Amino acid sequence: MGKSGVCSSGVLSASTMVYVLTALSIVVLISTVYVNSHLNSLLSVSKRIHNYVSMYIGIDSKATVTSNSSSSRHAFSITNPSITRATTPRATTPGGTTARPNECKSCFKHDFDFMLNNEDVCQTDTGNSTIKVIVLISTIHKNTEKRKAIRETWMSPYTGNTGPVRYMFLLGRISDKALQVALETESASYRDILQEDFMDSYNNLTLKTMMAFRWASTFCQKAEFVMKTDDDMFVNINGLLRAVNQHTDVLQRSVGGFCVLSASPIRDKGSKWYASEKMYPHRKYPGYCSGTGYVTSMFVTRRVFEISKHLPFFHLEDIFVGLCINKLGYTFTRIGGFSTNFIPISCSYKQSIITSHGVSPKQMRQAWDLKC
Ligand SMILES: *[C@@H]1O[C@H](CO)[C@@H](O)[C@H](O)[C@H]1NC(C)=O
Ligand SMILES: *[C@@H]1O[C@H](CO)[C@@H](O)[C@H](O)[C@H]1NC(C)=O
Ligand SMILES: *[C@@H]1O[C@H](CO)[C@@H](O)[C@H](O)[C@H]1NC(C)=O
């Protein structure tokens, strides 16, 4: 009995242990799930708060921004944790081992062949005889849906390329044959594609912008203003037209948008906007307007393209344009309404804003369909 008693009490405590352990693991499991779901909603809430805050204070993390009494809204910089390490090889400085000189003689020739050129985007024989703005939109082959959404939303009043606003998509070369065939078909249908024979990569964005400046100065000289933007941007064209009309004079010697007057190179190798001492030896950039959207006159566009041949390549396109502007002795003009952040979808998309960043095709349609 004693034996069986010991035995049964042993069995009992073992099975009790199993029960207790099972109950405990269920509790742990439930609380993990609970905490996780709360963490997720906490994260999304803090992300939203960040969006709102950055919308009002205007955060741009392209460079380390230093304080300037007259632009104290940029008195700090943030590092965007979602930006991943650049995987493409870095641009090399001319000469390889020496630091980037400030200028050079015809060292940056831009003479790539056009693979696709819809030359008649800016022709004025039929349609409108004057062109107010040509909008040049940086994109990549696979972003077919983004281009479609742009044509169907904010650019839709002007898609025939016959009105006072014209537009063109900008691409380089890729090796994927199927995507190239699809792009050629798209170009034949919409006649809004410009492609040059350089390899399309993040580090070649300066080549893409110079392609756009070259093309605009050659094939779209009639346009009064030139805007450069990206395919993840919503551009309120009416707001843009108001801005260029308001700033017509200053834009004859200036580039306008979300401009940063005093910024330093980011020396952190993990940053998407990394620039080594060799790539850019100075402590400060001369200023730039965020590549998410900037606008200037045709005069400045032509001058920038001309001077660009005598400046060594620099891989961040908006900073390169800034270096050209500085070399020319021109200025940067901060224009209200240009945002480098995502602005929550609202009637402001048709009223006060000029640009909003990181807008998906679905959000473009949401904003466009608002009855405001
Ligand atoms: C600060 O901004 C003003 C006007 O925008 C400019 O004239 C001045 O040169 C800037 N100062 C520095 C240190 O960048
Ligand atoms: C040409 O553009 C002007 C505004 O710049 C506009 O008033 C006019 O209706 C346009 N004409 C055509 C045929 O699109
Ligand atoms: C463009 O970028 C790629 C990779 O970043 C590089 O290999 C290539 O040489 C660059 N230049 C041209 C003109 O394609």
Q: How far apart are CA 251 and CA 279, in angstroms?
A: 29
Tell me the whole-structure pTM to 2 decimals. 0.74
Of 243, 228, 224, nearest in space to 298 by CA: 224
Query: Which ranges constitute the DSSP H helices of the chain?
Result: 2-57, 144-152, 177-190, 205-219, 237-246, 298-308, 317-328, 361-369
Token pair belonging to 182: 């699809």
Maximum pairwise Cα distance, the chain: 111
Spatial strand order of the sheet with 223-230 comes to: 114-117, 193-199, 165-173, 131-138, 223-230, 288-297, 254-260, 331-334
68 CA: nearest ligand 1 atom: 1
Q: Which two tokens stand for residue 56?
A: 């009002």
- Whole-number Å distance, alpha carbon 135 to ligand 2 midpoint, is 17
Nearest atom within ligand 2 for CA of residue 163: 14
Tokens of 132: 């107010």
Nearest CA to ligand 2 atom 12: 128
- CA–centroid distance, residue 133 to ligand 1 (Å): 29
Tokens of 306: 């001309």
**pLDDT beneath 50, residues of the chain:** 1-12, 42-43, 45, 47-59, 66-95
Q: Which residues contact 38 (CB under 8 A, 6 or more apart)?
A: none
Task: Work out the burial of residue 18: count CB atoms within 10 Å of its CB; fewer than 13 is exposed, 13-18 middle, 19 or more buried.
Answer: exposed
Q: Output the 3-class SS for 316-334.
A: CHHHHHHHHHHHHCCEEEE
DSSP state of 230: E
Question: Is the distance from the beta carbon of residue 88 to the nearest atom of ligand 3 less than 6 Å?
Answer: yes
CB atoms within 10 A of CB 189: 9
pLDDT recorded at residue 21: 62
pLDDT confidence of residue 22? 63
Spell out the domain ranges in the chain: 69-369
Distance 225 CA to ligand 1 centre (A): 26
**How far is Cα 116 from Cα 197, in angstroms, rounded to an integer?**
9
Q: To 5 degrees, how large is the angle CA 348–CA 76–CA 54?
A: 20
CB proximity list for 102: less than 8 A, separation 6 or greater:
311
The rounded distance, in Å, linking the Cα atoms of 52 and 343 is 8
C-alpha of residue 262 to centroid of ligand 3, in Å: 29
Q: Which long-range contacts (CB under 8 A, 24 or more apart) does 44-49 make?
A: none
User: What SS3 class is residue 33?
Assistant: helix
233-279 tens-digit pLDDT: 999 999 999 999 999 999 999 999 999 998 999 999 999 899 989 89
Residue with tokens 């994260």: 43
Query: What is residue 15's predicted lDDT score, i.e. its pLDDT?
Result: 60
Distance from C-alpha of 287 to C-alpha of 143, rounded to nearest angstrom: 30
The H or E element containing residue 255 is strand 254-260
Task: Tell me the C-alpha distance between 274 and 268, whole Å.
Answer: 6
Any atom of ligand 3 within 6 Å of the Cβ of 174? no
Ligand 1 neighbourhood includes 129 CB (under 6 angstroms) = no
**Residue that the structure tokens 């009416």 belong to:** 238
Pocket test for ligand 2, best of 128, 242, 248 (most atoms within 8 A of CB): 128
CATH class of domain segment(s) 69-369: alpha beta
Q: With beta carbons less than 8 A apart as the criterion, state whether 122 and 134 touch.
A: yes
| pLDDT single digits (tens) 199-209 | 999 999 999 99
